[in-house]
Structure 1
């Protein structure tokens, strides 16, 4: 049964709730909207196919995967209007959820698996396919127990920039009129803006002080560079996340570019060339042969500033894991209770708060881990010790950093999956070497293991966006 839904979010959708206040979504728990239908699933799969190809191309070309949820939501709304469909909110959420999985799976693959071909390693298609498949499954089942914490308990405390933008697109499809016109106008202006920059080059997307003589001098002598990205996507992100988080991001950039990079640059000559070369990931001879390029401000940021940021994200994630230990204990306790077949009658929950049963989640998790173990043991590694070690690495890192990925998406809308993948590759390589894995087999194993973890973290980050959109609009979590 379809119901006529309100066409605007409640006023408390984006703010913290007062004591005793409840959030009522656009489609309340008492309603019965159409969600999973042949139309929504078919459209979602088509969007996934199309945007997977687009995301892979762009990601391999520029090293960055665009977020597909927003354009897919716009297309879903537009197609519904063209076909004259009514009350499409629930189905449109499913369409964007299925379609947007394309970008996150692609992101998980392109940061690791292309290295197999760059290094000339022997990798079969089925190995690439299974690493993405199992990583995606792990990302979903490991995040589900944390849904209530991120989307409900932290309501109004996290900005969820991408989820906010996608939700507004979907709501505008129900509103029509001035809201839809405003959204269309904003999208048109942003598209034309980027088109003019990218096609005609009327101005550069990234403006740096290097364009001035004094700026070039400051960059060479003092390693100080100030740059601003003027793309419509970045400007729009600033509007969405708000002043507080925009200032936090700006403060982090200022710390690295105006303090850390200049300090390291000033100490470069005093340090032993071998030490400096190791920090930059090059040989001593390479550094002595081309010091101007390797000691440039941009290169110091890439190899010293950015890893510090990754380490900060990792530490924040570890701290977050300790802070969220109560949520982890609750999830584990619920799982144990269900597995024991407790006779206690479960508390009735509304439609908008129904997750998949914990017993089913654990069944899928165990089946996935067993499948990953067989995949590693039969098609990748030699020996039980190496296979058991590999599956332990995958599970522990995926479990711990799932919340890190979700937390990053909730705050800034960007998943630091590439940085966490580098950490995974380093940790997994060290551990696998300790159990006797080396050579080309070890490199292949490390990259494919990294691909599984990378895809899991990417999927978790994308999935939390879907769940938050569903929470705001009132879709059924288990669907």
Structure 2
């Protein structure tokens, strides 16, 4: 008897989790400039719901649930890295535009990876480990995950409570900072989701991000202020450091691109098996997306072709890179910046300048970014499926379902968060989208600071030469210091209080904090804020820290 796999039950549970993780990661991405893989927490929640409540024990059915759910997280990453740039640039984009762009980019990312699946997932099985995919397979095949489910729920409650106490009741401060002098400042964002993200990333990657922050705020800002003696530290960060960080991300992305040129071998050897969506359906699907894009966006045909050419290229690169470094280190920011720089030059040559040129270029960048993010997630999910014996075609259909469902809610989430907090503000800095808007606007205005980009590129090369992840350092450069220091705090906690259940617990905290932020946004829109009393910055920090680590000292028996 065949084991249940793509069932109505698995689709419904997957859709519910996709909506939750899409919303949570949209908030986290706008806040911290990064998202966290949803596959493992989705698998744990799915197994708990199916085994404990509904007495269903199919591994393959659970795999479909986590596949649909993780599509929501991946789509959110691609969307929040680019589309908020329209809002930052004061462009009027409505819900339909966000929905259709999300659908086109997301489905492209799924379909364009299908010809590479057999090569990357099966033939290069030993060469490309796909860490999240393997870890998720281990979760799915473990005997019981009841305890992990408890940690996710408790983490969710803690994260949600802290966010509500901070945003609605103003009991806790959201950050604290120490101004050292006119040209330097230390700050720490009191966000449980940032600390949780740092815990999941671990001490190594979080320390690289913090290194970028220290380099920017305690080396480059004082140096620039000494040379120029014109701006304060915030103005120097805004006018100089973010461009240096952008140059670092761009070069870091190019380095990753060069390291993974082997991905193009599969362009010459397209392979799909009888277990994949048939290749002629893939071609039909991509062609349909091109036609839909042409009539929806009303671009020059060359612009549409550019979006899909870059989308397919970076789909291949992204799908291979995450096989080595994991989805959390997928350099989609670097890929998108490279796309924007190249496309903006071509679009200007075609005669599109100003408002129209920026709009076309940013739309192309959004499609490429979403496709690359979806490709990275697709490859991890298909590796999980390969390890548990699932049919690829069922997962590919599930991923498309996840894209369509998540696309319907991601626009509402962005609109609500923008009304409540204003995207690009201190509350929701949207680091990547802000970076994209700066790069694109400067490119079209002809005042792109190439020297600063070059300095960032040189810094990236230096770190790569000594064996340090240049992308992580560059991200730390353009993140506000409060964010990178909070991420590092989480990494430090993971080093001191390393627990088997720590990652699952942190995932729950991130989900709770993020959804608490969305709920708070609805309250703020309707002016429903309540002031009871407020702890000062130090006490707020201690309370958040103690609540976070409370369950890391001992196991729940």
Which TM-score bucket, shorter chain as reference?
0.5 to 0.7
Q: Which of 25, 30, 34 is the matching residue for 1:55? A: 25
User: C-alpha offsets along residues 390-415 of structure 1, whole Å, 9 cap, x if unaligned?
Assistant: 12311221122123322443313313
TM-score where L is the length of structure 1: 0.67
Structure 2: which 5+ residue stretches go unaligned? Answer: 395-557
- Take 2:207 and 2:49, find their aligned partners in 1: how far apart are those partners? 42
Q: Which residue of 2 aligns with 1:127?
A: 97
**CA shift at 1:60, angstroms?**
4.0
Q: Which of 328, 333, 336 is the matching residue for 2:267? A: 328
- Take 1:75 and 1:39, find their aligned partners in 2: how far apart are those partners? 14
- Take 1:191 and 1:432, find their aligned partners in 2: how far apart are those partners? 45
**CA shift at 1:330, angstroms?**
1.7
- Take 2:31 and 2:209, find their aligned partners in 1: how far apart are those partners? 25
**CA shift at 1:90, angstroms?**
0.6
**CA shift at 1:472, angstroms?**
1.8
TM-score where L is the length of structure 2: 0.59
Equivalences for residues 346-425 of structure 1 within 5 A: 355-356=275-276, 360-376=278-294, 378-381=295-298, 386-387=300-301, 389-410=302-323, 411-414=325-328, 415-425=330-340
Q: Conserved in 1, the CA contact under 8 Å of 2:18 and 2:71?
A: yes
Q: Conserved in 2, the CA contact under 8 Å of 1:406 and 1:464?
A: yes
Q: Conserved in 2, the CA contact under 8 Å of 1:257 and 1:301?
A: no
**CA shift at 1:93, angstroms?**
0.6
- Take 2:158 and 2:67, find their aligned partners in 1: how far apart are those partners? 28
Q: Is 1:170 paired with 2:135?
A: no
Q: Which residue of 1 aligns with 2:198?
A: 234
Q: Which residue of 1 aligns with 2:253?
A: 313
Q: Conserved in 1, the CA contact under 8 Å of 2:175 and 2:187?
A: no
Distance change in 2, residues 1:375/1:325 (3 Å): closer
Q: Conserved in 1, the CA contact under 8 Å of 2:25 and 2:36?
A: yes
- Take 2:350 and 2:62, find their aligned partners in 1: how far apart are those partners? 49
**CA shift at 1:356, angstroms?**
1.7
**CA shift at 1:434, angstroms?**
0.8
Distance change in 2, residues 1:260/1:356 (3 Å): same
**CA shift at 1:478, angstroms?**
1.8
Q: Is 1:43 paired with 2:7?
A: no
Q: Which residue of 2 aligns with 1:99?
A: 69
Q: Which has the larger radius of gyration?
A: 1
Structure 1: which 5+ residue stretches go unaligned? Answer: 2-31, 239-245, 274-286, 336-352
User: C-alpha offsets along residues 274-325 of structure 1, whole Å, 9 cap, x if unaligned?
Assistant: xxxxxxxxxxxxx83x2332346x986543145313421223213412x233
Distance change in 2, residues 1:160/1:190 (3 Å): farther
**CA shift at 1:146, angstroms?**
2.1
User: C-alpha offsets along residues 395-438 of structure 1, whole Å, 9 cap, x if unaligned?
Assistant: 22112212332244331331333343233223222211110112
Equivalences for residues 232-271 of structure 1 within 5 A: 232-238=196-202, 249=205, 253=209, 256=212, 264-265=220-221, 268=224
Q: What is the aligned residue count? A: 386
Query: Which gives a bigger RCO, structure 1 or 2 (Cα 8 Å, sep 6+)?
Result: 2
- Take 1:130 and 1:200, find their aligned partners in 2: how far apart are those partners? 36
- Take 1:171 and 1:330, find their aligned partners in 2: how far apart are those partners? 33
Distance change in 2, residues 1:161/1:367 (3 Å): closer
- Take 1:189 and 1:203, find their aligned partners in 2: how far apart are those partners? 20
Q: Conserved in 2, the CA contact under 8 Å of 1:194 and 1:232?
A: no
Q: Conserved in 1, the CA contact under 8 Å of 2:25 and 2:73?
A: yes
Q: Is 1:438 paired with 2:353?
A: yes
- Take 1:129 and 1:417, find their aligned partners in 2: how far apart are those partners? 20
User: C-alpha offsets along residues 349-389 of structure 1, whole Å, 9 cap, x if unaligned?
Assistant: xxxx75426xx33443354235324533x34345xxx32x2
Distance change in 2, residues 1:116/1:194 (3 Å): closer
- Take 2:16 and 2:98, find their aligned partners in 1: how far apart are those partners? 22
**CA shift at 1:458, angstroms?**
1.2
CA RMSD of aligned residues (A): 4.0
